[in-house]
Amino acid sequence: MARAGGIKNAVNVGIAVQADWENREFISHISLNVRRLFEFLIQFEATTKSKLASLNEKLDALERRLELLEIQAGTASANPSLFT
């Protein structure tokens, strides 16, 4: 009878070890996917910052050009004789 209890205990330990192994494997997959997501977000942030900086430079140039055109249009309407 003692032997049967020992086998049952060994089976329970084996099941516990298998469950622990599966849990560790699951945690490892989750950890890897979180790391990949984090790396993607870092890359996305860097790319987005770069693109926004480029767009901001273009917008600044367009704003300066628009201001110049507004000044020229104001000068032209104030002194039409300059353009005839």
Structural domain contains residue 30? yes
Q: pLDDT band at 80, cuts 50/70/90?
A: confident
Number of domains making up the chain: 1
pLDDT of residue 1: 44
List b or e across 45-80, with b for residues whose CB sees 16 or more CB atoms inside 10 angstroms: eeeeeeeeeeeeeeeeeeeeeeeeeeeeeeeeeeee
| CA-to-CA dists, residue 18 to 1, 4, 9, 22, 59, angstroms | 26, 21, 14, 6, 61
Structural domain contains residue 84? no
State pLDDT tens for residues 18-67. Answer: 999 999 999 999 999 999 999 999 999 999 999 999 999 999 999 999 99
Structural domain of residue 39, as residue ranges? 1-77
Structural domain contains residue 83? no
Structural domain contains residue 31? yes
